[in-house]
Amino acid sequence: MIFLIMELLVYSASWCRDCREAKRFLDKHGIPYTEIDIEDTPGAAQEVVRNVGKRAIPQFVINGEWVQPYRPGRGFLYAEMSERLGLTQKQR
């Protein structure tokens, strides 16, 4: 499988259940990423707020584009992230 992603950053924290689910999804599909723990990386939490307007994790940064891979109350967006990451073909 060929992925078109050049760079994927995952802003997360060890205590975050949604973050663990997001990383499980990426690992299951063999998608490489760089994790940035907002608790351990100076300035990371502020970077999230600066880019999305709130301290909400997990956040994906796909080739420079900030993407929230979950919705409060809905959880991880499997179908949407599968499509965005090239795991499924868009229905026409």
CATH of the domain at 36: 3.40.30.10
- Domain assignment present for residue 1? The answer is no
The pTM for the full model equals 0.87
> Containing domain of residue 35, as a range?
8-84
**29 in any annotated domain:** yes
**Quick one: the chain helix, strand, coil %, rounded to 5?**
30, 20, 50
Considering its fold, how many domains does the chain have in total?
1
Identify whether the C-beta of residue 40 lies closer than 8 Å to the C-beta of residue 63. Answer: no
Residuewise pLDDT in 10s, the chain (92 residues): 555 557 999 999 999 999 999 999 999 999 999 999 999 999 999 999 999 999 899 999 999 999 999 998 889 999 999 999 988 755 54
Q: Scan for tokens 């109350």, then name that residue.
A: 73
Angle subtended at Cα 46 by Cα 37 and Cα 42, rounded to the nearest 5 degrees: 50
